[in-house]
């Protein structure tokens, strides 16, 4: 009975949530700023993602290597 109540409450909240959320701009998107490019999205500089991507990949590889090292160290200590 408790599971049924939880499921019903969750389903009810998921169903009614879209009707309760306020919208800030009901008339559509805001117009672009005055310095916006005439041939497309040319205003502003581009942001390079290469450096940040390599940092994240390096950190992920380091974290994975540390986890593997810890597992092997623990396994070696258990065998002794």
Buried b (16+ CB within 10 A) or exposed e, 20-34: eeeeeeeeeeeeeee
Range of the domain at 66: 52-80
| Mean pLDDT, range 74-80, rounded to an integer | 88
Residue 12 lies in a domain: no
Q: pLDDT, tens digit, for every residue of 5-20?
A: 999 999 888 887 666 6
For residue 38, being part of any structural domain is answered with no
Residue 16 in domain: no
Number of structural domains in the chain: 1
76 part of a folded domain: yes
Residue 44 lies in a domain: no
Structural domain includes residue 34: no
User: In this structure, is residue 4 part of a structural domain?
Assistant: no
> Residue 6: its pLDDT value, please?
92
Residue 80 lies in a domain: yes
For 31-73, what is each residue's pLDDT tens digit? 767 766 555 555 555 666 777 888 899 999 999 999 999 999 9
């Amino acid at each position: 009975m408790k599971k049924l109540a939880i499921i019903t409450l969750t389903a009810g909240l998921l169903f009614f949530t879209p009707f309760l959320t306020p919208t800030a701009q009901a008339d559509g998107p805001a117009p672009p700023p005055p310095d916006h490019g005439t041939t497309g999205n040319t205003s502003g500089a581009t942001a390079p993602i290469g450096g940040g991507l390599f940092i994240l990949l390096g950190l992920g590889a380091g974290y994975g290597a540390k986890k593997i090292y810890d597992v092997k160290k623990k396994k070696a200590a258990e065998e002794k």
